[in-house]
Chain A
């Protein structure tokens, strides 16, 4: 009895469902990461925006113009989208170091700036061109939303990058940046987890990564098995959610056809 009371005070039973779902998610991720990845290689469907990444870097190199990469104003470093963006930055930086193309990275967050500097520096070292790394190209511009937008717009207008990567969490500044990029005829690859900004990017950019494609991007580009395994974990979870929704819809339909009250067991 004492153990039961102690356990009740330790565990908030209102959150039991969340706890169980979290455990399932962790187990699926561990399974795909440590067991499944040893088996046959896992491939991701063709994503046009990602196929264009190398072309965009090549274009900037051929035109002898810089490449601009910015993760948007809406996120900070703890946001998974920003971490996914850093993964893509790592790939892009490897390529720009090999092609000796200037990579300009303005951001609104000092911590993102520090992480991006490390990511880019590491990529340049990995490819054997540490001397091509320019720290002053990766800068903090302003924490204010439209201060950031004005600063990035200014950089785009003055340096006229041949390619622009808008990958991260964007808010109202998205269309301002994308249209400015369009006005200088830059090739633009965008991707965000902000559903409302996706509509702006789709209209104004050449390629748009929709939501989770951004998370899959780093695995797609690098072929990193751990990242690919987590994409596989997402797919398994998505199938489970879809099955759950289908069962709940059928259940609710049958209950309502029988004229009874809905049990709402799915609202745990």
Chain B
């Protein structure tokens, strides 16, 4: 790092991302088989199916998580699913509620009939296991303080047996807990995760413990393309591609310095 001070590397990346974001150009992306599988699975569910959307993230990852969450919500509301929102991180609770409420408004959905937000429960493992026994016992009231029994769309929902699938929107490893603990109840788990976490879930995806997954800003851009709309995902693609190229440039530069210093007999 002595050859090129860290600060210059940081400054270069900052300028590159700043400029490409300011350009606000959408880049066309090729849809990957992973995203196609996710889209096809959600599309194949019958109208009126009940899904849990779990906002398992913190505020920090919102720039990456938001386009993914919006794509999931839009597709679900387009398909007229009944959505139950939960959050296993305190910071994701309000974010999830706002996202659900705003997108529900776009599709004229009514709270209590078409979607409901149950909010946060501490200790994610205990919460996931408890919902497998009884969602009502885990959430006697929804996020707004309404009794579980008073919410029309929950009248026939007891536990995971009445749920078609869980979509875990996560910036960390919480989806793993949905797979490992929720999976005991034979519920389908769908992952909508940040790019850094994608390869973590590959083994679960290939063993069908996870049904489908989309990952990162690129996953969001691909999903937006399948839904036929523009969003944060496709807008961020230029910056992401530029950052990838910048890192490739840095790797090549680092190796040039390395081989030059080795030729001179010095140490890198």
Q: Do chains A and B touch in the complex (CB under 8 A)?
A: yes
Decide: A145 and B60 in contact? CB cutoff 8 A.
Answer: yes
Decide: B196 and A146 in contact? CB cutoff 8 A.
Answer: no
| Chain B interface residue bracket vs A | 10 to 19
Decide: A196 and B197 in contact? CB cutoff 8 A.
Answer: yes
Decide: A196 and B91 in contact? CB cutoff 8 A.
Answer: no
Shortest A16–chain B CB gap in Å is 14
Decide: B58 and A196 in contact? CB cutoff 8 A.
Answer: no
* Residues of B close to A194: CB separation below 8 A: 173, 200
Shortest A212–chain B CB gap in Å is 16
Decide: B171 and A172 in contact? CB cutoff 8 A.
Answer: yes
Shortest A7–chain B CB gap in Å is 21
Bound state CA distance, A144 and B61, in angstroms? 12
Majority-rule SS of A interface residues:
loop
Decide: A196 and B200 in contact? CB cutoff 8 A.
Answer: yes
Contact flag A171-B58 (CB < 8 Å), given A194-B200, A196-B196, A196-B200: no
* Residues of B close to A169: CB separation below 8 A: 173
Query: Interface code A138-156, partner B: CB below 8 Å = 1, 0 otherwise?
Result: 0000001110000000000
Shortest B125–chain A CB gap in Å is 8
Bound state CA distance, A229 and B69, in angstroms? 47
Decide: A195 and B200 in contact? CB cutoff 8 A.
Answer: yes
Q: Does B199 contact A (CB under 8 A)?
A: yes
Q: Does B172 contact A (CB under 8 A)?
A: yes
Q: Which of B148-179 contact A (CB under 8 A)?
A: 171-173
Q: Does A183 contact B (CB under 8 A)?
A: yes
Bound state CA distance, A145 and B174, in angstroms? 13
Q: Does A74 contact B (CB under 8 A)?
A: yes
* Residues of A close to B197: CB separation below 8 A: 196
Q: Does B105 contact A (CB under 8 A)?
A: no
Decide: B173 and A146 in contact? CB cutoff 8 A.
Answer: no
Query: Interface code A185-220, partner B: CB below 8 Å = 1, 0 otherwise?
Result: 000000000111000000000000000000000000
Which of B58, B173, B199 interacts with A74 by CB under 8 Å? B173
Query: Interface code B71-105, partner A: CB below 8 Å = 1, 0 otherwise?
Result: 00000000000000000000100000000000000
Contact flag A183-B6 (CB < 8 Å), given A144-B91, A196-B200: yes
Q: Which residues of A contact B (CB under 8 A)?
A: 74, 144-146, 169, 171-172, 183, 194-196
Question: What are the 9 closest A-B residue pairs judged by CB atoms, nearest first?
Answer: A171-B172, A146-B60, A196-B200, A145-B58, A196-B199, A195-B200, A172-B196, A74-B173, A171-B173
